[in-house]
Amino acid sequence: MRIGIIGAGEVGLTYARPWAAAGHEVVLCDLKPSTAATAFAEQSGQDIRASVAELAPDCDVVVSCVFGTVSLVVAEQALAHMARDTLYVDMTTADPALIRTAADSAAQRGIGYVDVAILGAIALTHAKTNLLGAGTGIDRALTLFSGIDAPLKPVEEGAAGDAAALKILRSVFTKGLEALTIECFMAAEKQGVSEKLHDALSDIDQASLRDFLGALIRTHVLHAPRRLKEVEEAERQLLAADMPVAVLPGVKALFKRTADQIAVQPIDSASPTLPQAFEWLFKVNDVSR
């Protein structure tokens, strides 16, 4: 298989090396190749192409490893030069809307397209980093990545763009949790109660995360006003203890927003279901589906 890789940076080379080792013909494309990229190209006896137009025409697979901001431009250039029934792998984790546009373009040309989102740190786990993929080319991509033992997981019934959307939303959650953990456990550590706080949080572990988060959403639309008071007290005490506070003001703002919305148009249920809670949240926040 002839694999063209656009963007010979850390991500591109991370997959170029094992694909070449597995017997594929790997060709790089980069305007300013790094020393590592040049070394790889010399070793594999291939020139580094300076333009997508020089790379794309004779590749069975084109893998885009450029920055998300140029993902659509690069995709359109490559797709214009690729043959029918080839495969385009987009590893840019760009804006899902851009990815969907590129996937439509690929479909019109009869080219397979897969959106592959990187769910970890390539710098740390290299080709073993978890990947999430979606799109018409997912089956071919699974073969390609499983050939080098790279853990690509398909989004069930997902279309191109869904992998990128999920990566970004996962990032909102995990980075938010990380910041919250730092803020909360620095204060616990200062008071010498980190271990005891883990005990006091152990009920979260007992439920499934899905059920726990669902319960938070369902009760938030009822109890935000009372909980706002607890957030205010918590913030007051972190500040009184001279702890740096970054996350809690935003948490307070969100509870305040919901509390104000409840005051004006409370939800019409004493025990809302998850769909009812979302329906109310979308209505009061003027968010269209």
Site size toward a copy of itself (CB under 8 A) is: 87
Please identify, among the stretches 8-16, 80-88, 139-147, 197-205, the one whose residues bind a copy of itself according to the rule CB under 8 A: 197-205
Cα 196 to Cα 201, 202, 243, distances in angstroms: 9, 10, 19
Binding mask 212-231 for a copy of itself (x = CB under 8 A): -x--xx--x--x--xx--xx
In the complex with a copy of itself, the residue whose CB is nearer, 61 or 117, is 117
In the complex with a copy of itself, the residue whose CB is nearer, 87 or 231, is 231
As measured in angstroms, the least distance from the Cβ of 225 to a copy of itself is 12
As measured in angstroms, the least distance from the Cβ of 49 to a copy of itself is 28
In the complex with a copy of itself, the residue whose CB is nearer, 121 or 264, is 121
Site for a copy of itself in 75-104 (CB under 8 A): 95-97
Nearest Cα to 262, choosing from 230, 216, 226? 226
Distance separating alpha carbons of residues 158 and 164, to the nearest angstrom: 11
Binding mask 125-154 for a copy of itself (x = CB under 8 A): -------x----------------------
In the complex with a copy of itself, the residue whose CB is nearer, 64 or 258, is 258
8 A C-beta contact, residue 185 and residue 194: yes
DSSP 31: S
Q: Is the dihedral of CA 143, 144, 149, 153 positive or negative?
A: negative
Q: Does 181 bind a copy of itself (CB under 8 A)?
A: yes
8 A C-beta contact, residue 55 and residue 6: yes
Out of 10, 47, 178, 260, the residue judged to bind a copy of itself by CB under 8 A: 178
Q: Does 281 bind a copy of itself (CB under 8 A)?
A: yes
Kindly give, in sequence order, each residue whose CB lies less than 8 Å from that of residue 99, ignoring residues fewer than 6 positions away. 71, 72, 90, 92, 115, 160, 161, 164
In the complex with a copy of itself, the residue whose CB is nearer, 126 or 257, is 257
Site for a copy of itself in 33-52 (CB under 8 A): none
3 state DSSP class of 147: coil
Q: Does 70 bind a copy of itself (CB under 8 A)?
A: no
DSSP 23: T
Range 83-95 burial, b when 16+ CB lie within 10 A, else e: eeebbbbbbbbbb
In the complex with a copy of itself, the residue whose CB is nearer, 128 or 227, is 227
